[in-house]
Amino acid sequence: MALHGAAAASPNAVLLVARPEMPDARFLEAVILATRTPDGHTVGVILNRAGYGGPVMEGAAVALFKSREPPAGPAFEVLKGVFLSMHPAVVEPLRARPSSPDVRFFSGFSGWVPGQLEAELAGTAWHVLPAR
């Protein structure tokens, strides 16, 4: 995945689908597009809740968008040509554009510290599916 607008060598993303046994009420029935950061954290956005990316920094604007070129500011390339960013240098120009199906905005994001998601995956919290 890419940071600071550089193209990713191998973007990575998965869909996390909450199992019925999900112990955290904030994620009941959630479907999250998640990616691993270069420093080992996992971040993502809840796709099936309008405008709500997750409980981390709930007031922060986060954009998930398609682009043929990497953005000028910091962003993660989660899939080929699909980027995730909360940096104002990326988000604000996207907000200024006319509405587009290639851009989706969220408030906040979902995040896990290194090892946290692996522990949840070993339990009964999530199904993991490939993202395309």
pLDDT in tens, 14-71: 999 999 999 999 999 999 999 988 788 899 999 999 989 999 999 999 999 999 999 9
| Residue 92, helix vs strand vs coil | helix
Spatial distance between the Cα atoms of 59 and 76, rounded to a whole number of angstroms: 20
Spatial distance between the Cα atoms of 65 and 84, rounded to a whole number of angstroms: 7
User: Cβ distance 17 to 120 under 8 Å?
Assistant: no
Spatial distance between the Cα atoms of 65 and 58, rounded to a whole number of angstroms: 19
- Cα 29 to its chain centre, rounded Å, is 17
For the stretch 70-98, pLDDT in tens is: 998 999 899 999 999 999 999 999 999 99
Spatial distance between the Cα atoms of 66 and 11, rounded to a whole number of angstroms: 13
Q: Which pTM does this prediction carry? A: 0.87
The answer to whether the Cα torsion of 38, 42, 48, 52 is positive or negative is negative
Spatial distance between the Cα atoms of 128 and 15, rounded to a whole number of angstroms: 6
> Is it true that domain 14-130 has CATH number 3.30.160.20?
no
